[in-house]
Amino acid sequence: MKIYIGSDHAGFDAKEKLFAHLSKLKYDIEDVGDKVLDPNDDYPQFAYAATAKLLGDADPESKAILLCGSGQGMCIAANRVHGIRASLCWDEQSATETREDNDSNVLCLPARVLTQAELERVTEAWLKTPFSGAPRHARRIKEIEELYG
């Protein structure tokens, strides 16, 4: 499983620290930007870079993590891409539920809201939780693809 991670200026420091944390845990992680702190950058380009890499990855277990100030902008931008199920998560319960029920493939995090320790806990919960595969959840995901695909 590969993890693609991206952020704008508001999530830059948190992204750098989360990248280091996940690397220590032996995850295969690729930074899609921004590569330098640029107070004038915009989140849509990084959401697109991460989702494009994710959708181009042959491994269906690969994921993406996006950080911005509130997490909302990244989530909105990522969900514009067909095949992406991005979820804004603020605690371990929301992270676990979106993986179990929605088979979320993109985690969006609010860098200005959560501490670094909280970001790490939410991310680890999200990464470790498998999709339940329950028929009702699979049916709903299929319905989203049919309606919005």
> How many residues does this entry show for the chain?
149
Whole-prediction pTM:
0.98
Per-residue pLDDT tens for 105-140?
Answer: 999 999 999 999 999 999 999 999 999 999 999 999
Per-residue pLDDT tens for 57-94?
Answer: 999 999 999 999 999 999 999 999 999 999 999 999 99
- Structure confidence at residue 22 (pLDDT): 98
- Nearest Cα to Cα of residue 71 among 2, 10, 5: 10
- Structure confidence at residue 149 (pLDDT): 75
- Nearest Cα to Cα of residue 104 among 91, 92, 120, 88: 88
Per-residue pLDDT tens for 85-109?
Answer: 999 999 999 999 999 999 999 999 9
Task: Note if the bond before 91 is cis, omega within 30 degrees.
Answer: no
